[in-house]
Structure 1
Amino acid sequence: MNPMAEDRTAELLTLHVQRAITRVRAFDRRHPLVWDLHITGFYVTAALIDFTSDGWKNTTENPTLPGWLILALSLGFSIPLLWRRTHPVAVLTGMIPVAVVNAATGALLQASLLLLVALFNAALRVRMRTLLWSYGLVLVPFLVAAFRYPAEQGPEQNVVPAAMSLALSAMLGIAVRTRKDYLASLVERARQLEVERDQQSRLAAAAERARIAREMHDIIGHNLSVITGLADGGRYAATRSPERAAQALDAIGTTSRQALGELRRLLDVLREETKAEAADLTPQPTLTDLDQLIDGVRAAGLPVRTTIRGRPSILPGRQLTVYRVVQEALTNTLKHAGPDATSDIVMTYADSGAVTVTVTDTGHGAPPSTADGRGLTGMRERTALYGGTLEAGPRPHPEPGWRVHLHLPPEEPPQ
């Protein structure tokens, strides 16, 4: 026969055996009494067969014992096994007097071996201290037999083999119990890992939703503010300078297309169909994109003056934070500062890697904290990612306007 076919046959046989065992265990968990009745019925039948066939006379020391005593002893050893799993200690202690009578009268029934079954179930379910004194009690009938019939049932012939057999039964119960506890711990650990995995998935999804919400707010809010400024300027210029109005319309179209492209790239990550497509590798904005951002704000009618101190050399993630904070500050100025406002940006880069950005305006409009809190929340969340601080509020009296101050500490060296 082909060795591969033999291996396949062995695997199938093992699989069928495992499935059968699984079904039996599942049935036992659902209907424990049915299984206990079958097992107890088997032991009772075996004990009665030994009684009715006079097989007990082959091992007894006193063949003249009355039949009712042999029947009582046989049932006393076998019937209590019905409760061996629910009350193992009670079953074991209840069988001890029967075993003592069995040894003292010289009946020495083979049914007394059912003490091994009772001790096994006790080892499977009780504490070690309880098991130790139970083991000591089970030895009592064998000691009685040894003293009652020293010639035939001395220590070498009875007590020592019985003690070893009982110890083996107890150790087998302990081994099975240890195995069951180990499997139960693995199942519980697997359940905990599933719960933790689900929690991590929910947290990751919530964090991703928050990130997408921040990005959408930054993209849409800023570009709509620029478009609004351009539209207002174009409306005033339409009657006096058609060329300026046309320029404003062109700028509105360019800004709209740019916002639509950024929004489409952001929303594409939510589409399952894009998993099979090539990923869009367009990078996130960095400090080099600030000039384009500021030019767009200026085109919308907000004069912006920038002052840069030091040389920017920070990681891309920190650059994105600086870009988004400046973008949100200028957006709030466009939306809330009112006409004739100006903005001033001061960016300081230290040699240690620390960054300080201050954006002020001279507006007189409503503060952004009362009109739109999502932008300020997003700025603070981005800043907190790098252990920085963000201050946003009115400028000190009597200076008008609003001030946003960002500070990012030095970058931590790689470990």
Structure 2
Amino acid sequence: MTQVTEQLTRDRGTGALTAHVQGVLHRVRAFDRRRPLLWDALLTGFFVTAALVDANGGWRNIAQNTDVPAHLVLALSLGLSVPLLWRRRHPLPVLAAMAPFALVSNWTGAMLQAALIQHVVVFNIALRLPLRRLGVAAVLLTVPLAVGTVRHPAGSWEQQVISPLWAFALVALLGIAVRTRQEYTASLVERARRLEIERDQQAQLAAAAERTRIAREMHDIIGHNLSVITGLADGGKYAAAKSPERAAQALDAIATTSRQALTELRRLLDVLRDDDLAPAPPPAELAPQPALSDLDQLIDGVRAAGLPVRFTVHGTPDALPPGRQLTVYRVVQEALTNTLKHAGPTATATVDVSYGDGVTVTVTDTGGPAVHGTPAPPGEAGPGRGLTGMRERTALYAGTLEAGPLDPPAGGWRVRLYLPKDTTP
């Protein structure tokens, strides 16, 4: 038990140390992004100081020729360190600018350690430029080394040339590794950004589709019931003077239709309610969506509104999915609603439903052909979404919808819906 506790303590300590190091690196990178010039100046100042300290006399410890003039050593030290300020924007030109100073340093036998600063530039070349530029960098570093070895052959080639080239290879590999990591991180960030954009687009498309669906449902519910109420009110107005009993029946029908419309509208609004923000509503009255079995009730309501409707059914209905039944119901509802609104007081309607290779619904009326499609007069509501909603519903199930005036002399309007059988397993 004690060993487990000690292991957990060590793991927590290691994790805290890793998190601390990552935090420091993150702050350094953030500072570099905010103040790149200041960071370059600080780094260059550090190496210039180190080069000048070495030029003060320490260079003689490894020099092949200790008689090099001090002013030349100072100039070489500055030439090998000051260009570092531009290493990030122009790494290869900076290395080319350092190469003559490294060549003079090795030629004279000073062998300044400031030449090692060139590896910082090599790291930036591997990090920022195409990898083929590393070949040019290798040449720029190798030529001064070879010249110094030939000029002052005090040590072996392995010490004077091969070891610096190994350092060059290690620095180049480090730059490539950091570059690969940065590119991988950038690709993850870009992928996350694209996924976020796609998610927002999908949410917008879903919201638009939902708004369209809600508008279609509200149009079908409210438009139909208001049309029925209008028809009942008109009939009750004419019946009030001659038959008060018929007027009372019309008022009762208006009240019933209004309650049904409110119930359906309340059910739709309950679906849209935000449960996190709105107070808890009372339990909503649950009822299935309208189906083919509800067509009789729909047509009875239209007849009560004053529109004579002949309803015929051909064939035996198969087990249609609820969505297809709702589409048939809404198309019949919208077609009869348009007849109530536009066909005139003397119009009649016919609803034929045929079952076979799918379901075919034909709704015709005897109203004038122009009133169904003409724009509304000024000051009234413009053309509705009835036909658009019917076509949208039909397209969901790969069906067809035809709507238009009948040929004269019969006149009138016809809506024909065809939904193929559902072949989904």
TM-score class, shorter? over 0.9
- Is the 1:338–1:365 Cα contact (8 Å) retained in structure 2? no
- Is the 1:336–1:366 Cα contact (8 Å) retained in structure 2? no
Asked whether 1:20 is paired with 2:10, we answer no
Deviations 1:378-409 (A, max 9, x none): 11111122222211111111112110011223
Deviations 1:165-196 (A, max 9, x none): 10111111111111111111111221222222
**Normalising to structure 2: TM-score of the pair?**
0.91
Q: Which amino acid in the other structure matches residue 283 of structure 1?
A: P
Partners of 2:372 and 2:365 lie apart in 1 by: 12
For residue 239 of structure 1, give the secondary structure of its aligned residue in structure 2.
Answer: helix
- Is the 2:369–2:406 Cα contact (8 Å) retained in structure 1? no
Partners of 2:118 and 2:41 lie apart in 1 by: 18
Asked whether 1:324 is paired with 2:340, we answer no
- Is the 2:270–2:284 Cα contact (8 Å) retained in structure 1? no
Residue of structure 1 equivalent to 2:46? 42
Residue of structure 2 equivalent to 1:403? 414
Residue of structure 1 equivalent to 2:254? 252
For residue 219 of structure 1, the aligned residue among 191, 208, 221 is 221
Partners of 2:407 and 2:105 lie apart in 1 by: 102
Deviations 1:23-59 (A, max 9, x none): 222221111111111111111111111111x211111
Partners of 1:74 and 1:280 lie apart in 2 by: 89
For residue 256 of structure 1, give the secondary structure of its aligned residue in structure 2.
Answer: helix
For residue 109 of structure 2, give the secondary structure of its aligned residue in structure 1.
Answer: coil
CA separation of 1:332/1:167 partners in 2, compared to 1, >3 Å: closer, same or farther?
same
Residue of structure 2 equivalent to 1:345? 351
- Is the 1:337–1:366 Cα contact (8 Å) retained in structure 2? no
Q: Which amino acid in the other structure matches residue 236 of structure 1?
A: Y
Deviations 1:181-231 (A, max 9, x none): 111111122122222222221221111111111111100110001111111
Partners of 2:167 and 2:316 lie apart in 1 by: 84
- How far the C-alpha of 1:128 sits from its partner, in A, is 1.7
Partners of 1:275 and 1:382 lie apart in 2 by: 33
Residue of structure 1 equivalent to 2:239? 237
Deviations 1:318-351 (A, max 9, x none): 2111111110000001111111211111112224
- How far the C-alpha of 1:290 sits from its partner, in A, is 1.3
CA separation of 1:84/1:275 partners in 2, compared to 1, >3 Å: closer, same or farther?
farther
Partners of 2:321 and 2:243 lie apart in 1 by: 45
CA-atom RMSD in angstroms = 2.0
- How far the C-alpha of 1:12 sits from its partner, in A, is 4.1
For residue 396 of structure 1, give the secondary structure of its aligned residue in structure 2.
Answer: coil
> Within 5 A, what are the aligned runs for 1:243-322?
243-273=245-275, 281-312=286-317, 313-322=319-328
- Is the 1:50–1:56 Cα contact (8 Å) retained in structure 2? yes
Partners of 1:236 and 1:6 lie apart in 2 by: 94
Asked whether 1:393 is paired with 2:404, we answer yes
Partners of 2:280 and 2:65 lie apart in 1 by: 87
- Is the 1:265–1:280 Cα contact (8 Å) retained in structure 2? yes
Partners of 1:97 and 1:275 lie apart in 2 by: 80
- Is the 1:369–1:376 Cα contact (8 Å) retained in structure 2? no
- How far the C-alpha of 1:136 sits from its partner, in A, is 2.6
CA separation of 1:101/1:282 partners in 2, compared to 1, >3 Å: closer, same or farther?
farther
For residue 63 of structure 2, give the secondary structure of its aligned residue in structure 1.
Answer: coil
Asked whether 1:126 is paired with 2:132, we answer no
- How far the C-alpha of 1:260 sits from its partner, in A, is 0.5
- How far the C-alpha of 1:144 sits from its partner, in A, is 1.6
Asked whether 1:209 is paired with 2:211, we answer yes
Asked whether 1:381 is paired with 2:383, we answer no
- How far the C-alpha of 1:276 sits from its partner, in A, is 6.0
CA separation of 1:12/1:369 partners in 2, compared to 1, >3 Å: closer, same or farther?
farther
- Is the 2:368–2:411 Cα contact (8 Å) retained in structure 1? yes
Unaligned 5+ segments in structure 1 are none
- Is the 1:336–1:365 Cα contact (8 Å) retained in structure 2? no
Asked whether 1:185 is paired with 2:187, we answer yes
Partners of 1:59 and 1:297 lie apart in 2 by: 108
- Is the 2:352–2:361 Cα contact (8 Å) retained in structure 1? yes
For residue 415 of structure 2, give the secondary structure of its aligned residue in structure 1.
Answer: strand
Residue of structure 1 equivalent to 2:163? 161
**Normalising to structure 1: TM-score of the pair?**
0.93
Partners of 2:409 and 2:279 lie apart in 1 by: 56
CA separation of 1:380/1:96 partners in 2, compared to 1, >3 Å: closer, same or farther?
same
Q: In percent, how many aligned pairs have the same letter?
A: 65
